[in-house]
Structure 1
Amino acid sequence: MTDINSPQFPESVEEGSVATWHKQPGDAIARDELIVDIETDKTVLEVLATADGVMGDIVKNEGDIVLSGELIGRMDAGATAAPKAAAAAAPAAADSNSDDEAFVNPAARKMAEENGLNPQSVPGTGKGGRITKEDVVNFLKNKPAAAPVAASAPVAAPAPVALGAREEKRVPMTRLRATIAKRLLAAQHETAMLTTFNEVNMKPLMELRKQYKDQFEKTHNGTRLGFMGFFVKAATEALKRFPAVNASIDGNDMVYHGFYDVGVAVSTPKGLVVPVLRDTDRMTIAEVEQGIKDYAVSAQGGKLGIEDMTGGTFTITNGGVFGSMMSTPILNPPQTAILGMHKTYERPMAVNGEVVILPMMYLALSYDHRMIDGKDAVQFLVTIKELIEDPARMLLNV
């Protein structure tokens, strides 16, 4: 038997938990095939098979806590799986509700219930039609209008609910969600957080994007021109002018960073993650846009590595994609500031003594007042506003 161990965790990760077993005892395993997912407080790590063989004993069940390099299961390398009776599987999938339950991976069932889905409505791609966590993730990502229903299978009528009945469901937090909650509370309790607001006229940027988006996409091999690339570059230029915003507090020391690693908050089915764009001062707008796209795809598929989400010096979060008009973003410690973008609305504005309808966006900068004075915070936000309202300034560095 060959041991299956949990991955070696980075120094910043003390432990993890078994999220999903993709192989059960007796299943055939191919080299480099996914065996089990290990969830940490930052990401999901995959354990792949090192050789062909057959799955043996499972030592750590789903939900169990594991340490770095700990034994979690065994496999018989080089062995061949015994043939299974195909005839038994067909009637089981067709006429037994209890058998249907067995074809849903526990982690897949949990994710489906958290998102209000019937696990049986998700097409299964696992062995023998088993529904895995990846099937649920792909189902949520694609958001089909309706799950396919077998023509021969009658649809069961919903069970009657007693009038006045009030249901509730208790679901334990995932490790990632619990870590997010802990960090958000720490940010509020351990920092002197304050938020300043401003508004930005998006018309110049929208016109620029409309003029060049098709040419931009052709020139940069399909990379689309969005607004985030401009905001990342504008924030980077503002960070150069106000070093305290690109700093962190370590005990009684103030650490000023001589590089610009901007984190961009990305929403996933499991919670908010913040992958980091490295050295944004050296990146073009096209590289920023492509980097954000790549991170978003990886985040939805649970493929972000821990190294992708550590070491940022500043964060940008865009609640506008969900329709938020204004919010106060919470700091991402040990960073000292975070920029919040919001939805663009057309509003009447006074311009040169006349009322003009303009597309306006509210910007919010939350900052740690222990490190950043109000004057610097306001001027930092005004700098971003000026650069967005006149994008040519970013090219001319004025």
Structure 2
Amino acid sequence: MSIEIKAPVFPESVAEGTVATWHKQPGEACERDELIVDIETDKVVLEVVAPADGVIEEIIKNEDDVVESGEVIGKFKEGAAGESKPAEESKSEDKAEEKAEEPKKEEASSGDAILSPAARKLAEENDVDPSAVKGTGKDGRVTKEDVQNHISNKPAADSSASKPAEMPKVDVAQGERPEKRVPMTRLRASIAKRLVDAQQTAAMLTTFNEVNMKPIMDLRSQYKDSFLKRHDVKLGFMSFFAKAATEALKRFPAVNASIDGNDMVYHGYQDIGVAVSTDRGLVVPVLRDVDSMGLADIEKTIVDYGTKAKGGKLGIEDMTGGTFTITNGGIFGSLISTPILNPPQTAILGMHKIQERPMAVNGQVEVLPMMYLALSYDHRMIDGKEAVQFLVAIKEMLEDPARILLDV
């Protein structure tokens, strides 16, 4: 039975998508729910899986073709892998396959794993040894999710050690000036358009301050083991910044507002977006109602979003909305920067690298771990006085974390 393969139904905010990768080709067998094609929109990558066991009969929309919501992109034949062969032919092929598979059995005994095509491609792209991945699929098959989990659980030392190997060395003859032209992905094009629009439409300014991170670092050092044991998640810096920003947003409602045409919309809740860098581009999943979340809830949600982002699993609902954004360039070593607004929001907080510097404290010079903070804001909505006071409030709460608890 022939089944139409259709693009997923896109959300209202997404008009069209692009066929990113066909993981299966015509005549190639697939199992039910196995990934067959990725559709890239300007916000997320959507996966289309096989509706049943069978084969790809025809590809109608090739890679890089533009598709609309629900459009037919190919045809699938259910059960075709085993129905179209006569009994004698299938027996002879089975014998041939048994002979061909004899060396494979030897390979399997030496530690090789059974990988789905999507899992094998992901493993090759990330230089992962398939035999080191534990399979959770049928008959111990290693799925794409298994590889993603293995990559996300790799020790930091492994990832840093593998980075140099990931950079291909190109032998270039002396005097040559090579160039490589690559079409911009739909997500990258959407990011570029939004950032340019923000600079062209908003009266954007940035104010700076610096914060002594020693109190937070001492607090983390004192309670990190107990926190991990109790909540099964590490205590990071972002949860402190999210809670400090939430308290400051309640005191300065204009920073938590947005502009809609000639209207100013004040939000009575704090939904904070956290910028996450991925191979496909920058995405901003949103923490909902941060005021009602504890530090552990924030950390767990951020870890979950990070895992989803690396695997391309973030949904539209994860990134819609948001009344304020926090971005952390410090993880890449940035000492100071001017973050760009995330429309229609009117402010964004930039965190940076923690660096020890000599500071004057009560007439004495002390070496302290300092971080520059940057608040970019839309001057159409927020006055300079409010922006500066907002940033000072965050600074004071971080330098004296008890203020967050006591709301002072």
Q: Name the TM tier (shorter chain).
A: 0.7 to 0.9
Tell me how far 1:61 sits from its aligned partner: 0.7
CA RMSD of aligned residues (A): 3.0
| Selected match of 1:203 from 214, 217, 224 | 214
Cα 1:324/1:69, change in 2 over 3 Å: same
Tell me how far 1:168 sits from its aligned partner: 1.2
TM-score, normalised via structure 2 length: 0.82
Aligned to 2:20: 19
Distance 1:57 1:21 in 2: 12
Distance 1:89 1:43 in 2: 39
Distance 1:249 1:159 in 2: 49
Aligned to 2:77: 76
- The alignment status of 1:214 with 2:225, answered yes or no, reads yes
- The alignment status of 1:384 with 2:398, answered yes or no, reads no
Structure 1 stretches lacking a partner, 5+ long? 92-104, 113-117, 126-131, 150-157
1:270-322, CA deviations, whole angstroms, 9 ceiling, x for partnerless residues?
11100000000010010001100110011001110011011011000000000
Distance 1:181 1:89 in 2: 49
Matches within 5 A, 1:167-206: 167-206=178-217
Distance 1:46 1:38 in 2: 6
Distance 1:6 1:45 in 2: 9
Cα 1:136/1:18, change in 2 over 3 Å: farther
Aligned to 1:163: 174
- The alignment status of 1:327 with 2:328, answered yes or no, reads no
Aligned to 2:324: 314
- The alignment status of 1:231 with 2:232, answered yes or no, reads no
Cα 1:373/1:297, change in 2 over 3 Å: same
Which range moves more in the overlay, 300-309 or 44-53? 44-53
Cα 1:395/1:161, change in 2 over 3 Å: closer
Tell me how far 1:48 sits from its aligned partner: 1.7
Query: Which amino acid counterpart does residue 227 of structure 1 have in structure 2?
Result: F
Cα 1:120/1:276, change in 2 over 3 Å: closer
- The alignment status of 1:283 with 2:293, answered yes or no, reads yes
SS of the residue 1:326 aligns to: coil
The structure where helix makes up a greater share of residues is: 2
TM-score, normalised via structure 1 length: 0.84
Aligned length: 362
Matches within 5 A, 1:213-362: 213-220=224-231, 222-362=232-372
Query: Which amino acid counterpart does residue 188 of structure 1 have in structure 2?
Result: Q
Cα 1:137/1:64, change in 2 over 3 Å: farther
Which range moves more in the overlay, 73-82 or 194-203? 73-82
Aligned to 1:129: none
Tell me how far 1:136 sits from its aligned partner: 10
Cα pair 1:5 1:73 within 8 Å, conserved: yes
Distance 1:304 1:341 in 2: 23
1:234-255, CA deviations, whole angstroms, 9 ceiling, x for partnerless residues?
0001000011011100000001
Aligned to 1:10: 11
1:343-381, CA deviations, whole angstroms, 9 ceiling, x for partnerless residues?
011111111111111111000000000000111100100
Cα 1:144/1:334, change in 2 over 3 Å: closer
Distance 2:126 2:378 in 1: 48
Tell me how far 1:146 sits from its aligned partner: 5.9
Cα 1:327/1:89, change in 2 over 3 Å: farther
SS of the residue 1:80 aligns to: helix
Query: Which amino acid counterpart does residue 374 of structure 1 have in structure 2?
Result: G
SS of the residue 1:163 aligns to: coil
Query: Which amino acid counterpart does residue 185 of structure 2 have in structure 1?
Result: T
SS of the residue 1:195 aligns to: strand
1:47-97, CA deviations, whole angstroms, 9 ceiling, x for partnerless residues?
122222221100111111000000001101232256777588999xxxxxx
Cα pair 1:328 1:366 within 8 Å, conserved: yes
SS of the residue 1:46 aligns to: strand
Which range moves more in the overlay, 170-179 or 136-145? 136-145
Matches within 5 A, 1:136-155: 143=159, 145=161
SS of the residue 1:272 aligns to: strand
Tell me how far 1:206 sits from its aligned partner: 0.5
Tell me how far 1:199 sits from its aligned partner: 0.4
Cα 1:31/1:161, change in 2 over 3 Å: closer
